[in-house]
């Protein structure tokens, strides 16, 4: 039995101690002395969210299939444990070995969204790893960044030793083989990074000189050495059917956000929504063979005991063999209480035939993504859906036996008006009305319509990438209480502004901003600003105050590739 890093006394103090003890079903434990490489995979958010991420499950399974590698996991601790780790000087530890993260060879962090940037620095700080890559020594792990945010790496380039650009199944073996070889030869950290930069998909920021234009966009991007590639090529899995996939995913001790088997049926999307980074960067669309999916579904449900399976993709209803797959799942698991979840459905492509078959089993909710409430705004973002098509698709779902529908919308889209926002509940109401048009004796109980909204953030490599929706003439102001506000724009602040959980890093505090008009990623604040009141906050929204206005300098620490994720530094005395 592995000795826990936390004492019983600490575990009794904190919320949900099962987040930190490891040893879950299907987790992998190896003898650290029998492996050549220890790799800690990190999702920089709380355990329940990180355990729901499919990408880490795939890489965890892939790396642990190597006899010379032990891949472990770590997640951002909740504020209660954060405070204890700082107070008692306990280094952050991995779940499997319960050993300090700083003792590993690699720390790989998946970066799924800009709002988790602060948590990356939290992970480094609690792990007692130098924040900036330039300050790390031969005894520190190599810090790798991966995930969609690496397509705009410059705002966080100073913190990472290297970035993996693209899909992780391709180049990790080559990277680890190189590390193992050079480690045995006694090569230095610097020499390894130099050679790693030659592997397709690997970007080592320290080996490139970046120059910028006056507006903060990149003017030039030149390698420091002649043998370092001028262009970093993203990596793409060409054969999804044969690609590695976990047959025994880890089952958490506590309920995760996505507490089910996730079966990825395809990668990429045939659509062209102008806001969607995933639809652009994961091109081309690649399907998994249905026979492979049938085997995976059976093996994953058997090895986990889950009672629900989710068919995952960017647009599930565009999968060419959806009907055959759903038919198999119904017949195979009929009478066994297994739900089939069909997220990411295009209402205009939804198959009435498929729905008619799924109605024979226990149902969960259906998820649709109109993205905008009004037809005008849906046309702007190239969603390609009309109100008639949406109501027709919802009607087919209701007639198929569903009574729960979740609708995803975005706020702050380009050209959005108040009328566009009002159209969101109006559309949801029209969908509910469509349900009650069905004769009462044919309805499946009461109708439940759930509206979920998120804020638009311009993403790299999308048609909307340059749409900086917050005018540059507005300044940030900071009150002595540590609560943020925007000069001269109070109504918009109160309609959606919030400050995320702040993180203390050495002598600096950082906080993340978000609102309908503002979705910029990172602000680095001097330690003279009193942000201790934010330090123990969760991500619950707080209403900012409007302190006495003041002007101060605003400048990029390292200008980004795209304007959407600016690093700002606030001078002492602000």
The Cα–Cα gap between 101 and 86 comes to 15
Beta pairing class for 503-505 and 513-514: unpaired
Q: Residue 385's pLDDT is what?
A: 86
Residues 6+ apart with CB under 8 A from 176: 37, 39, 63, 66, 68, 69
Answer whether 428's CB lies under 8 Å from 451's CB.
yes
* Cα–Cα distance for residue pair 307/338, rounded to 1 Å: 5
Unique residue bearing structure tokens 């030869």: 185
**How would you write the pLDDT of the chain (574 residues) with one tens digit per residue?**
689 999 999 999 999 999 999 999 999 999 999 999 999 999 999 999 999 999 999 999 999 999 999 999 999 999 999 999 999 999 999 999 999 999 999 999 999 988 899 999 999 999 999 999 999 999 999 999 999 999 999 999 999 999 999 999 999 999 999 999 999 999 999 999 999 999 999 999 999 999 888 877 888 889 999 999 999 999 999 999 999 999 999 999 999 998 999 999 999 999 899 999 999 999 999 999 999 999 999 999 999 999 999 999 998 888 999 989 988 998 898 888 888 887 776 665 455 566 666 655 556 667 788 999 999 999 999 998 899 988 988 888 888 778 888 899 999 999 999 999 999 999 999 999 999 999 998 888 899 999 999 989 889 899 998 886 544 433 333 332 222 222 222 222 222 222 222 333 333 333 333 222 222 223 332 222 222 222 333 333 333 332 333 222 222 223 222 222 222 222 223 2
Look at residue 565 in the predicted model and tell me its pLDDT.
Answer: 29
Backbone angles phi, psi at 307, to 5 degrees: -110, 15
> Virtual CA dihedral for 19, 22, 24, 28, nearest 10 degrees?
140
Alpha helices in 418-572 (DSSP H): 418-436, 490-496, 532-535
Q: CB-based burial of residue 84 (10 Å sphere; 0-12 exposed, 13-18 middle, 19+ buried)?
A: middle
Chain centroid to CA 433: 35
Residues 224-238 as b or e (16 or more Cβ within 10 Å = b): eeeebeeebebbbbe
pTM, entire model: 0.80
Q: State how far the alpha carbon of 200 is from the alpha carbons of 70, 168, 250, in Å.
A: 23, 11, 30
- Cα gap 251→306, rounded to integer Å: 9
pLDDT tens by residue, 511-563: 333 222 222 223 332 222 222 222 333 333 333 332 333 222 222 223 222 22
Q: What is the DSSP string of 17-35?
A: GGGSS---BT-----GGG-
Please state, in angstroms and rounded to a whole number, the distance separating the CA atoms of residues 159 and 418: 40
> What is the predicted pLDDT for the residue at 488?
27
**Inter-residue contact 342 to 361 (CB < 8 Å):** no
What angle, rounded to 10 degrees, do the helices at 172-184 and 189-196 form? 150
Rounded Cα distance between 362 and 384, Å, is: 31
Quote the Cα angle for 37-40-44, to 5°.
Answer: 160
| CA-based R_g, the chain, Å | 24
Q: For 322, phi and psi rounded to 5 degrees?
A: -60, -45
The predicted-structure confidence for 127-137, as pLDDT tens digits, reads as follows 999 999 999 99
Exposure on the CB side of residue 391, measured as CA atoms within 13 A:
18
Structure confidence at residue 520 (pLDDT)? 27
What is the rounded CA–CA span in Å between residue 312 and residue 367? 12
Q: Which helix (H) or strand (E) element contains residue 65?
A: none
């Amino acid at each position: 039995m592995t000795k826990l890093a936390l004492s019983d006394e600490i575990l009794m103090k904190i919320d949900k101690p099962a987040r930190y003890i490891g040893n879950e079903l299907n987790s992998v434990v190896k003898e650290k002395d029998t492996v050549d490489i220890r790799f800690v995979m990190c999702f920089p958010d709380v355990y329940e969210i990180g355990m729901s991420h499919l990408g880490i499950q795939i890489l965890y399974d892939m790396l642990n299939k190597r006899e010379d590698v032990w891949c472990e996991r770590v997640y951002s601790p909740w504020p209660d444990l954060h405070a204890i780790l700082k107070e008692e000087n306990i280094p952050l530890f991995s779940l499997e070995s319960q050993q300090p993260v700083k003792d590993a060879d690699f720390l790989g962090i998946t970066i799924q969204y800009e709002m988790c940037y602060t948590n990356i620095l939290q992970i480094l700080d609690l792990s007692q790893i130098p924040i900036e890559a330039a300050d790390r020594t031969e005894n520190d792990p190599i810090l790798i960044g991966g995930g969609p945010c690496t397509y705009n790496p410059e705002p966080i380039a100073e913190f990472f030793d290297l970035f993996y650009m693209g899909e992780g199944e391709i180049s990790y073996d080559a990277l680890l083989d190189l590390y193992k070889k050079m480690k045995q030869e006694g090569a230095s950290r610097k020499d390894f990074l130099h050679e790693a930069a030659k592997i397709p998909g690997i970007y080592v920021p320290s080996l490139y000189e970046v120059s910028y234009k006056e507006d903060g966009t990149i003017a030039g991007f030149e390698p420091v050495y002649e043998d370092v590639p001028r262009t970093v090529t993203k990596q793409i899995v060409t054969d999804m059917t044969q690609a590695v996939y976990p047959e025994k995913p880890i089952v958490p001790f506590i309920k995760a956000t996505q507490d089910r088997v996730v079966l990825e049926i395809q990668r990429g999307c045939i659509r062209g929504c102008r806001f969607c980074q995933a639809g652009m960067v994961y091109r081309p669309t690649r399907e998994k063979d249905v026979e492979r999916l049938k085997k995976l579904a059976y093996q994953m449900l058997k090895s986990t005991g889950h009672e629900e399976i989710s068919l995952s993709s960017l647009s599930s209803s565009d999968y060419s063999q959806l009907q055959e797959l759903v038919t198999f799942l119904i017949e195979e698991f009929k009478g066994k209480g297994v739900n089939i979840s069909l997220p990411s459905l295009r209402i205009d492509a939804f198959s009435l035939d498929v729905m008619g078959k799924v109605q024979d089993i226990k149902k969960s909710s259906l998820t649709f993504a109109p993205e905008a409430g009004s037809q005008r705004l849906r046309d702007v973002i190239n969603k390609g859906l009309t109100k008639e098509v949406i109501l027709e698709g919802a009607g087919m779902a209701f007639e198929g036996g569903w009574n729960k529908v979740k609708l995803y919308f975005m706020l702050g889209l380009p050209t959005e008006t108040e009328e566009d926002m009002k159209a969101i509940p109006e559309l949801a109401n029209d969908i509910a009305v469509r349900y009650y048009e069905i004769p009462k004796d044919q309805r499946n109980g009461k109708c439940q319509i759930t509206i979920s909204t998120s804020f638009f953030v311009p993403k790299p490599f999308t048609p909307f990438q340059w749409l900086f929706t917050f005018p540059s003439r507005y300044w940030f102001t900071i009150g002595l209480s540590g609560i943020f506000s925007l000069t001269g724009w109070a109504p918009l602040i109160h309609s959606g502004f919030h400050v995320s959980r702040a993180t203390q890093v050495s002598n600096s505090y950082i906080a993340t901003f978000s609102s309908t008009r503002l979705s910029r990623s990172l602000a680095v604040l001097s330690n003279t600003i009193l942000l201790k009141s934010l330090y123990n906050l969760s991500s619950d929204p707080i209403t900012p105050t409007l302190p006495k206005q003041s002007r101060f300098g605003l400048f990029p620490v390292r200008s980004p590739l795209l304007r959407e994720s600016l690093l700002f530094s606030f001078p002492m005395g602000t």
